[in-house]
Amino acid sequence: MKRIISILVIALSFTLTGNAQDSMKKDAMMKDTKTTIVSLEQTKGEFTQKEITLKEGNYIFEIANNNVGHQVGFVLAPKSNPDAHIKTAYVTKAVDNNSKEKSNVTTLAKGEYVYFCPMNPTPQYTLIVE
């Protein structure tokens, strides 16, 4: 009986240690993942940045409403399908006049994207990920 209990304690200890190690590895990977803020400004009917080039990675989009006179938003989508919005890139709430809001973290792979504001409204601009 003591031997069975010892084996169970060792197995449980190994399982907990393995789970703790997995958790530590995930935490280390999260810390290694860099997130960059991309600041964009909207004025009446347009973004002031007409084209953006980025590297693959994680981004937060910060959208400034520079005296548009009403709320604005942000849409990012693959250039091949502008209706397929990348929802993590939406600002977390509509951007009030003369204020800023941010999106959630958005992971971008190589390719061409378009960004625009349907509320302002703006043309579609190009975002290239190299």
For residue 122, the model assigns a pLDDT of 97
Per-residue pLDDT tens digits for 27-77: 444 455 799 999 999 999 999 999 999 999 999 999 999 999 999 999 999
* Structural domain includes residue 108: yes
- What pLDDT sits at residue 67? 98
* Percent share of the chain, pLDDT over 90: 75
We report the CATH number of the domain holding residue 62 as 2.60.40.420
Q: Is residue 57 part of a domain?
A: yes
Could you tell me if residue 121 is inside a domain?
yes
How much is the pTM? 0.75
Q: What is the pLDDT averaged over residues 97-109?
A: 98
The domain containing residue 97 runs over which residues? Answer: 35-129
* Residue 44 placed within a domain: yes
Q: Is 55 within the bounds of a domain?
A: yes
101 φ, ψ to 5°?
-145, 160
- Among the listed residues 78, 48, 81, the one whose alpha carbon sits nearest the alpha carbon of residue 63: 48
Residue 120 lies in a domain: yes
Q: How many domains does the chain have?
A: 1
Side chain identity, residue 20: A
